[in-house]
Amino acid sequence: MAAEKNDTERKPPKISWLEQWGVEDRLARNGIRAGITFAVILFIAIMTRAMFFTFVDNYQMPYMFDSRTGQTTVLKHTGYIPQMPIVQSVHHIDLRPMQVCISAIQRVLNCKLVQFNTTGIETFIAWHGRGNYDIGAGQFNEILKNYAYDGSGKDYPFLTVLRELKNDEKPADEKGKPK
């Protein structure tokens, strides 16, 4: 009797959800499983990169703000910088020289070649707040132009004027002599 009971109460074989959807081929089922696994791993990798790492180019100076302590720390290296989301924020300042000009009616009156000086980063952040300061994006050019042409004669620790070019000067040739 026990043998007859086992034969009549057999459980049907397990059917995977892919078979229930009509995918009968074993190779197709394994391919779909591999594709889903790859997509999940790719999604996790992209989210890890977006949440836990910030990339800083070699011509930028990175600094990190820690919201727990309120402290800003200048970082010594560039590239991928690990951070804890929400708690830490990594920002950067562009260190390339830039030309700032005063113009009127589409005519350039005066230009200066300026560069951000890393020794004055604490003063700059205290006056303008933390954020990403890139050349050509946002107000970084205007900020440095305002300090470069400040009429008070003060020197600012975060600004270095590399060269001043007035409208009456002629451009130099390759040897540095005026044309």
**DSSP labels, 71-106:** EEEE-S--EEEE--TTTEEEEEEE-S-EEEEEEETT
Q: Encode pLDDT of 39-58 as tens digits.
A: 999 999 999 888 899 999 99
Give me 21's structure tokens: 């959807």
Q: What's the pTM value of the predicted model, to 2 decimals?
A: 0.69
Q: Structure tokens of 139?
A: 């107000």
Q: Which amino acid is located at 93 in the chain?
A: I
134-125-101-117 Cα dihedral, nearest 10 degrees: -90
pLDDT in tens, 64-92: 999 999 899 999 999 999 999 889 999 99
The C-alpha atoms of residue 106 and residue 172 are separated, in whole angstroms, by 23
- Percent of the chain scored above 70 by pLDDT? 85
User: Would you call 103 exposed, middle or buried from its count of C-beta atoms within 10 A (0-12, 13-18, 19+)?
Assistant: exposed
3-state secondary structure of 161: strand
